[in-house]
Amino acid sequence: MKIARVLRDDEPRIIIDAGAGPRLAPADVPDDIVVAVELAREGATEHWPAYATGSDRVLAPIAKPGKIIAVGLNYADHTTETGFTPPERPLTFAKYSSSLIGPVDDIIVPGHLVQQPDYEAELALVIGRRCGGSTTATLADVLGYTVANDVSARDVQFSDGQWTRAKSFDTFTPLGPHIVTADEFGDPSGRRIWTSIGDELLQDDSTSSMVFDVAALLAWIGAATTLEPGDVILTGTPAGAGGFRTPPRFLRDGDVVEVGVEGIGELVNRVVIRTEVAA
């Protein structure tokens, strides 16, 4: 089953592909996605539209995640290229939900604040039911999987000495193009993950290269944090991030960044470097 959010007639909607056909539903809060899935399983009423090429504007598949939890240094080759010491346990940080944009929206870089904008392809998962805290979070609690670009301001990241601000500028979390539910997606390991800009293939690896797999990440995060429906977890990026290439390859004005995960799809976001300061 696939779940997408679109803007139709100026109103956000959820579109569900349930195999036999989708159901169209309002998409105001994350819980509505869970409700829409249950409705779709009861029987759908419309066909899955070619929403990416139609009049609908494709939105991020989650409107207002309560939490976006990201994982750093979770691919060995990426850890090596950064020069960091490999973590003995998952390294997590937060991204603000205000950084979320859709799969075709522009990445707006405030050039007066950020000189080293970077890309990071990531497999993301969406929580489908309350878990963690007093119970162990497992793969059974995952609603589905989607694609994320953990856009990062490298100069801010390293000058701040912590990562949240550098990862949370507005528009710095493209997500989509839709959620593929866990039952359809299957095992999240062994999936190709990549980033390209034009003819440059910059990241190309498999999710099997994760140091801590999805199940281990869920157990670790859930041990300390109660997870709610609609929460999003980014699982780390492979080697090839721009700031660690020789020479570095940061995002440039006019770049079109394509980030994909096998079995889900691609994000296609244009980069706009905005140098003026808002009044």
**Cβ–Cβ < 8 Å for 225, 258:** no
Q: What is the pLDDT of residue 31?
A: 52
3-state helix, strand, coil in the chain (%, to 5): 20, 35, 45
CATH 3.90.850.10 fits 60-274, yes or no: yes
| Distance between CA atoms of residues 104 and 262, nearest Å | 18
pTM for the whole thing? 0.89
Q: What is the three-class DSSP state of 129?
A: coil
> DSSP for 141-206?
GEEEEEEEE--EEHHHHHHHSSSHHHH-STT-EEEEEEEEEHHHH---TT-EEEEEETTEEEEEEE
**Cβ–Cβ < 8 Å for 54, 80:** no
**Closest to 11 (Cα-Cα) out of 32, 26, 31:** 26
pLDDT of 135 above 60: yes
Say how many C-beta atoms besides its own lie within 10 A of residue 232's C-beta.
27
pLDDT of 277 above 50: yes
Higher pLDDT, 54 or 7: 7
3-state secondary structure 214-242: HHHHHHHHHHHCCECCCCEEECCCCCCCH
Mean pLDDT, residues 241-245 = 94
Higher pLDDT, 4 or 233: 233
Give the rounded percent of residues in the chain with a pLDDT score beyond 90.
Answer: 63
pLDDT of 245 above 70: yes
In the sheet that holds 265-274, the strands lie side by side as: 107-110, 265-274, 256-261, 192-197, 200-206
At 100-131, the pLDDT tens digits run 999 999 999 999 999 999 999 999 999 988 89
Residue 205 carries which side chain, given as an amino acid letter?
D
Q: What is the pLDDT of residue 51?
A: 47
| Distance between CA atoms of residues 121 and 149, nearest Å | 5
pLDDT of 50 above 50: no
